[in-house]
């Protein structure tokens, strides 16, 4: 949807962003937590997302894997947000609740609508109120957007309900976070972008 904003308007809105201080991982009350090593074989931390995972490509969710989950964790939760969106709060691109605790992974394309969920977790609603992965589609000319993949290791048995929203899972995580991991991928349209291992400039 945001890809349809004209370049001139995207450029005019360049300074309008939700803000990194509104990401879930920095909200008060979640707990004091250790670090989880969260990575993707498809992109490095702080690197540009391949088009395949965006609205300019196939629009599937990227593969993820993680390690360092505390033994006492009872479940994991994944929240993907864009704090650079020209919106009052970060745009939610994916929610997956009740992922089995422990080191593990999500395959490419795994974040899809699943109704009430299954044994592998419950996919929640993104900012367009749909289940599944919302492919990044930043406004043309708005500059670089940072997509924060946040993985939380939780204790306890809080239940945010079926198909949870961002507010549901943040409320359910309050005081229950044992560890968390953060992986950031970037994407932009209509502005120079660093690509490749040597950071060559390309037109996005």
Per-residue model confidence as pLDDT tens digits over 19-50: 788 899 999 888 778 999 999 999 999 999 99
Reduced to 3 states (helix: H, G, I; strand: E, B; else coil), residue 177 is: strand
Q: Which CATH architecture has domain 2-203?
A: Alpha-Beta Complex (3.90)
Reduced to 3 states (helix: H, G, I; strand: E, B; else coil), residue 8 is: helix
Per-residue model confidence as pLDDT tens digits over 137-181: 998 888 899 999 999 999 998 889 888 999 999 999 999 999 999
pLDDT score for 120: 58
pLDDT score for 149: 98
How do strand 75-82 and strand 47-48 relate by DSSP bridges?
unpaired
Q: Between 5 and 64, where is the model more confident? A: 64
Q: Is the distance from CB of 59 to CB of 202 less than 8 angstroms?
A: no
- DSSP assignment of 13-74, as one string? TTT----GGGSGGG-TTS---EE-EEE-SSS-TTEEPPGGGSTTTT-PPPPEEEE---TT--
Per-residue model confidence as pLDDT tens digits over 66-119: 999 999 999 999 999 999 988 888 999 999 999 999 999 999 999 999 875 554
Q: Is the distance from CB of 193 to CB of 144 less than 8 angstroms?
A: yes
Q: Which residues contact 68 (CB under 8 A, 6 or more apart)?
A: 34, 35, 36, 37, 103, 179, 181
């Amino acid at each position: 949807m945001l890809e349809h904003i004209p370049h001139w308007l995207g450029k005019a809105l360049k300074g309008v962003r939700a803000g990194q201080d509104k990401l879930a991982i920095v909200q008060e009350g979640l707990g004091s937590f250790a670090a989880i090593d969260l990575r993707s074989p498809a992109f490095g931390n702080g690197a540009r997302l391949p088009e395949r995972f965006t609205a300019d490509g196939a629009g599937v969710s990227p593969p993820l894997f993680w390690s360092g989950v505390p033994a006492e964790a009872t479940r994991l939760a994944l929240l993907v947000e864009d704090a650079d969106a020209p919106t009052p709060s970060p745009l939610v691109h994916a929610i997956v609740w009740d992922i089995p605790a422990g080191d593990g992974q999500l395959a490419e394309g795994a974040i899809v609508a699943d109704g009430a969920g299954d044994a592998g977790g419950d996919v929640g609603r993104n900012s367009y109120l749909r289940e599944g992965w919302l492919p990044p589609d930043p406004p043309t000319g708005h500059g670089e957007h940072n997509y924060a993949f946040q993985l939380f290791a939780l204790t306890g048995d809080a239940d945010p309900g079926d198909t949870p929203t961002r507010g549901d899972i943040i409320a359910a995580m309050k005081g229950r976070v044992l560890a968390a991991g953060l992986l950031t991928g970037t994407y932009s349209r209509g502005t120079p972008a660093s690509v490749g291992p040597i950071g060559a400039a390309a037109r996005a």
